[in-house]
Each structure stands twice: as structure tokens, then as C-alpha cells.
Amino acid sequence: MLKIENKADIFHYRTLLFVLVLSMLTLLSRYFYLQVIEYERYSSKSQVNSVRAQATYAPRGLILDRNGVVLVENYPTYILTVTPYELDNKEAQFQIISDITDISIDELSRRYKKYNQGRFLPTVIAKNLTFAEISQIEERRLELSGFQYKRFDERLYNDVLKDAHFLGYLRELDRESIPFLDKSQLYRAGELIGWQGLEKQYESELRYSKGIEYIEVDTYGREINTINDKNIPAYPGKNLTLSIDSKLQQFSKNLLIDQKGVILVSNVDTGDILSMVSNPSYNLDIYRGETTDSDWSNLLSDEDKPIINRNIAGLYPPGSSFKIITAFNLIEDGLLDPEDSLMCTGSYIPPGSSNTFNCWKGDGHGLVDLNKAIAQSCNVYFYETVQLIKLADWTKTAKIFGFQNKTNIDLPNELIGQIPDKEFFINTYGRWGWSERGVLLNLTLGQGDILVTPLQSLRYINHIASKGKTAKLKLNANKKVEYYDDIILSEQTWDRVIKGLYDVVNSESGSGWRAKQPEVKLYGKTSTAENPHGEPHAWFNGFFNFEGQTYSLVVLVENGGGGGAVASPIAGEIVKFFTREQVEMVNK
């Protein structure tokens, strides 16, 4: 056997041994550094990789009526989120989700782009997933890295009030909206926020506080264990109890079937709104999921404008109810003796003019004093007497009674209307294009350039019913009672006007006799407001006392015709129903 002589000398052995020892020492020192010196750092990193922190949600607060009937509650659904940095193959994974949920890839991509707020934050890309869809997603978990589903609560509306504008609705947040919101609420894109109505007004009270849940996952992102000792619980929002009576609301709504208009009922002493109907409306369930472009287009293009809450955003000429503004000026300023009578022949020609202004009663009312003029709504009486008043004084009185000012009810987006003054007329018609005597003829009848909201009319009649000491209007039953600034008028002035309003309903020839109730003293004022866009609007503003409380109501029927013929009977039905319900409730 051949042997090869080992020619390695002692130097080579020592060099090799040194390299081996040095390598071992390097590995041991690195191991010591990682396992001992940097233990906490890398242990934390390891936990971050194996533990996923995800936000948890509690239910939003319920909305109830004054008797505890639930008007808005929550129902559970599932949403699907994706964390961008965990996506392996976006196109292929979106195709899988599309196949499971029947949501188009274009829609998934649109939502991904709209609600994406960073590589490391989950983005909501689908809502209202079924249990079957969740099961299929779980089965294909290995192909869907970065996708997570979780329970989420949507709003569910009571069938009786699912079209009540004042409830409002929720909307999904996008990235553009978040910078303008309260940062302490930790809003994220894709979450729901109160966007209109009471949902918006009381967002901070109704909204839950989010929690954090820590979940241990494997390398594929699958859940292994829940780390309960570090979780932060989520807390539900506060319930909101309204002053609304849902039975009265439903009854009032049915009175306006197939008609456009408004019905308002309030407790004058507390400012509580008992009924707030705006018709036509739309089903709030449209917001339980996704509002498609088609849905929005249909709502916005509807000629009847169902999306508008007419109570706070509808602007109308008030009609003859503004004759009372003239009456307040006449009595309080001593411009005439209310007992004196004027002759109404059915028309009026102002001094120095060839124009004829007609009364609604063609053959006239004969001799008319102030009380009869209010009760029978005589135009000629107010045509003549308003000439005694200065425009500035008349508009000042209208504004004292709350017109061209918000009622400050607890709802967003209330409009203020318009009470035209001298500056308005000059800017609109020029210095010589109008006359003070001429415009007063229109203003005293609530016509011309006047615009008011029905809610302002409710505040107006409440001021009269309370003789100027009026509670602020509100929908939150637990909100403290507050008051508008007092309106200081003499007792004689209040009494004369209120006597006229009583005769409107209760005298034989009163314009609102169709509202009369045998067991309740109802006071009111009818109005027939001319409308350049069609038939006149029918109004009834009134109040009544019952069981030691004072209640008010406003009825408006758009293009309804005469206030006495159309709005008065509706007012009577509301009073009859309300009083009957109150008696039954006491008996129970």
C-alpha cells in the first residue's frame, strides 16, 4: 500500500486550531449577545411577530323614545379587512375574495384605495359578510395572508320610524374626512360615524370606546391563542332617550300619506318635541350596508326631495300667521283701539295707488275689529292697519319672535330663513324699485320675500302660548330645560291676541273651525300661503292646554290649498288622538 507523507508542519496545525477557536468564540459571544445582552429587545420583536393587536368594538348606544320604545338598535355583521404590508399577491387574492363574496374586483380595489391609511393598518374592503362566506375565507386562509374578518355592528331601525329624518344615519369614513375629526376618538378609515341628524348631534355620547385584543398567531397569520391578560376592553356608547312619542309620530305620519308636508307637536312648558314628521321621506335602511351611486342618484334627483328634513331645512312663506306680528305692533305701540272697526268690502286700494289688493273673501267681511280680523283672517283689515307701522318696527318684532334666527334645536344643519328689511330691499330691488308702504302689504300677509322653517313657526306659536317665557325646543328628553330670551309685552297685548286665536277655532265663522274639539280649548291660526311654484301651502299653527300642560302643533301641507280647509282638520285629528292617548296612559 502506498503511503503519502504528511507534510503539514506544526505551524499549519496551530493556525487551523486558532481559526477554529476564534470561530467558536465569535459564535459563542454572538450567541451570548443575542440571548443575554439583547434578550429584551429581540424578545419584544419576537412577540410582535407572533402577536397581533387588533381593535375591538362595542355596540353603539341605542336610541329610544320617551316611553322606552327602541327606535334605533344594533345588529351584528362581519367586515373583511386587509393589512397592505401582508399582501402576497394582491390581484390573485382579490380574485379569491371576489369569487367568494360576489363583489367585483373593481369595487374591492376602489374600497382598498379609498380606505387605505397606511401599510400597517387594516383596511375595510367588504361588509355584511355571511357565515358561509366567512367559512370559505377561513378554508383558504393560507392563500389569503393579511386578510382578517371580525364582527361589527350596523344600525337597525324600528319599522315605525325607519324613515324619520331626525334620527340621522351613519357613514363610512374615508381618509379625507379623518383629519377634521376629534383625534381623541381614534377614528380610522372604513369605520362608521354619525353623519346626519341625532346620530351626528350626539356622536360623542352614542359612540363606543374602542378596545384592543392581543392574539398569538403562527407564521401563516392563523390564530393560535388569545392573550387575555393584556386585552383592553371596549365599552358601549350611552343610550339616548328622545322626547318623541313613537305612537304620536306614527299617527301624524299617516295623516300626511301621499302628501308633502310637516307635522310638529311639542310640549310648550319643557320644549320637548313629541312628534316631528317630514313627508315624503326615505328608508334609512339604505345606510345599512353600502349606498350605491344609483341609490344616491335616485334620492337626489327625486322632485319631491325626500332627503330634506323639511322641519329644519324647508323654507316657506308663512302666510296669514304673520298677521299676528302686525297685531302685536298695533296693540303694544297703541297705534289703534282694538275695539274700533274698519269696513272690509272685499278689496283695498292703497292711497295714491291704482293697484287693488283683494281679501280672500270676495264680498268682504263687513265691519271688522281686531278680534274679528284675527278670527276670520281678514286681509283688508291688516292691509289698512299695517300702514300705521314702520318697516323697521315690523321686522324687529318678527325677529324678536325668533324668525331669521335658529331655534337651536339639537339637530345639525338648521336653516334661518329670511325676514327682509330695508337693506334687503335696496340690495334686491334698488333704491327706487320698492316702497315701504308697498312691501308692508305683502309682509303683513306673510308673503313676498319672507321665508321661514316650520320649526321657527313652532317656536313662534310657543312664544304666544307661553306669553314670551318659552322653553327651548329639544329632542333629547334628558337635556336640561333652558329658555329663549323673554319677550316682554303687556298682559293686555298677550290676552287680546290669544283671544283672537281662540275665536279662530271656536267661533262660528272662525277660519279654523274644522279643528275644534269639544273637550279641549284649542287656539290657532290658519294660513294659506301663496306659492309661485304651484298651489298654495296650507298651514295651521296652534296650542292647547291639557292636564296642566300646554302643547303646541304646526301642520303644513305643501300645495295643499286653504289652511282652514286642509290643515285645520289634520290639527283637530292630532289633538283628538293625543288627548285620548294621554287619558289611556293615565288609566293604565
- Predicted confidence (pLDDT) per residue in 154-192, tens digit: 888 998 898 999 999 988 887 778 888 877 777 887 788
- What is d(CA 225, CA 52) in angstroms, rounded to the nearest whole number? 11
CA dihedral (366, 369, 371, 373) in degrees, to 10, reads 50
The pLDDT tens digits for 478-519 are: 999 999 999 999 999 999 999 999 999 999 999 999 999 998
Is 582 part of a structural domain of the chain?
yes
Is 554 part of a structural domain of the chain?
yes
What pLDDT shows up at residue 468? Answer: 97
345 with 431, same domain? yes
Evaluate if residue 46 carries a pLDDT over 60: no
320 with 196, same domain? no
Of the pLDDT bands very low, low, confident and very high (cuts 50, 70, 90), residue 288 is low
Element (H, E) at 112: helix 105-115
Max Cα–Cα distance, the chain, nearest Å: 152
Strand, helix or coil for residue 466: coil
Strand, helix or coil for residue 54: strand
Stretch 29-38: mean pLDDT, rounded?
74
- What is d(CA 572, CA 268) in angstroms, rounded to the nearest whole number? 18
DSSP assignment of 508-575 equals TT-TTGGG--SSS-EEEEEEEE--TTSSPEEEEEEEEEETTEEEEEEEEETT---IIIIIHHHHHHHH
Is 561 part of a structural domain of the chain?
yes
Angle at 105 between CA 102 and CA 106, to 5 degrees: 120
234 with 261, same domain? no
Pick from 507, 574, 509: nearest CA to 546: 574
Strand, helix or coil for residue 123: strand
- Lowest-confidence pick of 15-24, 48-57, 205-214: 48-57
Peptide bond into 518 cis (omega under 30): no
**Which grid coordinates are listed for 60?**
353603539
Evaluate if residue 400 carries a pLDDT over 60: yes
Is 270 part of a structural domain of the chain?
yes
74 with 61, same domain? yes
- Which of 241, 262, 284 represents a domain boundary (last residue)? 241
**Which grid coordinates are listed for 276?**
316631528
Evaluate if residue 521 carries a pLDDT over 90: yes
Angle at 314 between CA 525 and CA 253, to 5 degrees: 70
Please tell me what DSSP assigns to residue 335.
-
What pLDDT shows up at residue 39? Answer: 64
- Which of 241, 258, 282 represents a domain boundary (last residue)? 241
Evaluate if residue 377 carries a pLDDT over 80: yes
Instruction: Say if CB 295 and CB 286 are below 8 A apart.
Output: yes
453 with 407, same domain? yes
- What is d(CA 362, CA 358) in angstroms, rounded to the nearest whole number? 7
> Where in the sequence is the domain holding 144, given as residue range(s)?
52-241
Of the pLDDT bands very low, low, confident and very high (cuts 50, 70, 90), residue 231 is confident
The pLDDT tens digits for 58-107 are: 889 999 999 999 999 998 888 888 888 788 888 888 898 889 888 888 88
What pLDDT shows up at residue 219? Answer: 59
Stretch 27-56: mean pLDDT, rounded?
68
Number of domains in the chain: 2
What pLDDT shows up at residue 390? Answer: 96
Evaluate if residue 126 carries a pLDDT over 80: yes
Stretch 533-540: mean pLDDT, rounded?
93
Of the pLDDT bands very low, low, confident and very high (cuts 50, 70, 90), residue 55 is confident
217 with 283, same domain? no
- What is d(CA 307, CA 318) in angstroms, rounded to the nearest whole number? 22
Mean confidence (pLDDT) of the chain: 89
Please return the burial class of 192, using the count of CB atoms within 10 Å of its CB with bins 0-12, 13-18 and 19+: buried
Evaluate if residue 422 carries a pLDDT over 90: yes
The pLDDT tens digits for 542-558 are: 999 999 999 999 999 99
- What is d(CA 526, CA 532) in angstroms, rounded to the nearest whole number? 19
Q: What are phi and psi of 21, to 5 degrees?
A: -65, -45
CATH number of the domain at 202, please: 3.90.1310.10
